[in-house]
């Protein structure tokens, strides 16, 4: 496609002109871009929630110890009528 000198060239058209093999590829629709963007945002959020605590394990372990130290009751009182958890694999 010929463009007059000095006229602004849209990005997708400049890509098609520079890479002739891309000329057969159509511009993605707005719906496709929305689905891809939603998938990327969702994956990023899930990755942040799952991987961040794994990388900063010491911070979360320290924060958990501090929060537990502020509690004014024992494990038995917190459990109420339920059994207090005991590690079944602990060596005796």
Model pTM? Answer: 0.47
Query: Alpha carbon of 88 to those of 51, 84, 85, 92: distances in Å?
Result: 28, 12, 9, 10
The residue extents of the domains of the chain are: 28-70
Tokens 């093999």 map to which residue? 21
pLDDT for the residue numbered 28: 85
Question: What's phi and psi for 23, nearest 5 deg?
Answer: -65, -25
> Rounded to 5 degrees, what angle do the CA atoms 18, 23, 24 make?
160
Confidence of residue 1 (pLDDT cuts 50, 70, 90): low
Q: How far is the C-alpha of 7 from the C-alpha of 1, rounded, in Å?
A: 13
Query: To the nearest whole percent, how much of the chain has pLDDT over 70?
Result: 98
Q: How long a stretch of residues is the chain? A: 92
């Amino acid at each position: 496609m010929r463009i007059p000198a000095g006229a602004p060239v849209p990005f997708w058209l400049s890509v098609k002109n520079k890479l002739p093999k891309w000329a057969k590829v159509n511009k993605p629709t707005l719906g496709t871009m929305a689905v891809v963007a939603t998938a990327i945002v969702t994956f990023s959020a899930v990755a942040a929630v799952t991987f961040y605590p794994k990388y900063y394990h010491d911070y979360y372990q320290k924060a958990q110890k501090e929060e537990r130290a502020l509690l004014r009751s024992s494990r038995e009182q917190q459990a109420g009528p339920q059994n207090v958890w005991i590690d079944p694999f602990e060596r005796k």
